[in-house]
Amino acid sequence: MALESVGIVGGGAWGTALGVSARRAGRDVMLWAYEPETVAEINQQHRNALYLPGVALDPAIKATAKLGEVAACDLLLMITPAQELRAIAGELASHMRDGQPLVIGAKGIEQSTGQLLSQVVAEVLPRVRTAVLSGPSFAAEIARGLPAALTLATASEAHGRALAHALSHASFRCYWSDDVAGAEIGGALKNVYAIAAGIVVGKKLGESAHAALVTRGFAEMMRFGTALGARRETMTGLSGLGDLILTCGSPQSRNMSLGSALGEGRSLGEVLKGRLSVTEGVYTASAVVEIAAARGIEMPIAQAVHAVVSGLATVDEAIVALLARPLRPEG
């Protein structure tokens, strides 16, 4: 399987950073962006100052506003916002080839259907070979060439190894897994718990409370993931626990910084209004809570986050409700 060229569908920070990384791995890179000004800036000035400031792009990285051009690449990375993936995949459909590899780098659950993104792609692009890239990684660090290790999940070992070799280099290591659902669930749910972790920071509840929140959030992730067929070792790996630790522990995380702002007393609308990039946990929370309710999975922290971002409870009310839960054996 020749994977010499990589097409990136999404010109935000993460898509651009993955384009930089793919170029370091020796691939030819074409990046699709929605905004004409982003396309022009990448092609003419070799930068994406709006989404990834301070990073000089290899002049060999090209950008386009035409999905057909990016779909001509050997391998596609889908780095669109999770809630827009279905629509953009639909526009790609007529350009894709049978068996063409497509790696989902977005993290989330479709709010309207409760589907994992691989399930959305299977519906809209049934002819492609789907994989999922997930794990602890900040766009700015990847773009700077700092070391990172991620999970690359796909059903076929041969396919997974080929993709891993195409995308990996000295500072960007991909570890293959066949647990696609597990990789997706960890990547989606960690955003919800990062909002909760940010609220703890914003409310100045202390490091002890932060540690407890992250630990109990991981317990909820484990319950949810295993109920949906994920393996425990995946949930304790890079795309589960690893991504949770990163996203709940740094203000670089969009979700944690949003939670911190909510904890400080700012409104959700006020915070989102000033953001260019999507904060996926806001949308994933409602999908997670709906799935958990249908399957009888106990997830009080996720429910609290959903209540806050949906306007069903204030931050203080959500905290009081969590602290009033009955004492019970840990598990």
Question: Reduced to 3 states, what is the DSSP secondary structure of residue 84?
Answer: helix
Residue 96 CA to residue 105 CA, distance in Å, equals: 18
Residue 125 CA to residue 96 CA, distance in Å, equals: 8
The catalytic residue among 190, 203, 204, 273 is 190
Phi, psi of 182 (to 5 degrees): -60, -45
Question: By CB neighbour count within 10 A (0-12 exposed, 13-18 middle, 19+ buried), where does 230 fall?
Answer: buried
Query: What strands lie across the sheet with 172-177, from one edge to the other?
Result: 62-64, 28-32, 5-9, 75-78, 101-104, 129-134, 148-153, 172-177
190 part of the active site: yes
Q: Is 12 left (phi over 0), alpha (psi -120 to 50) or beta?
A: beta
Residues with catalytic roles:
190
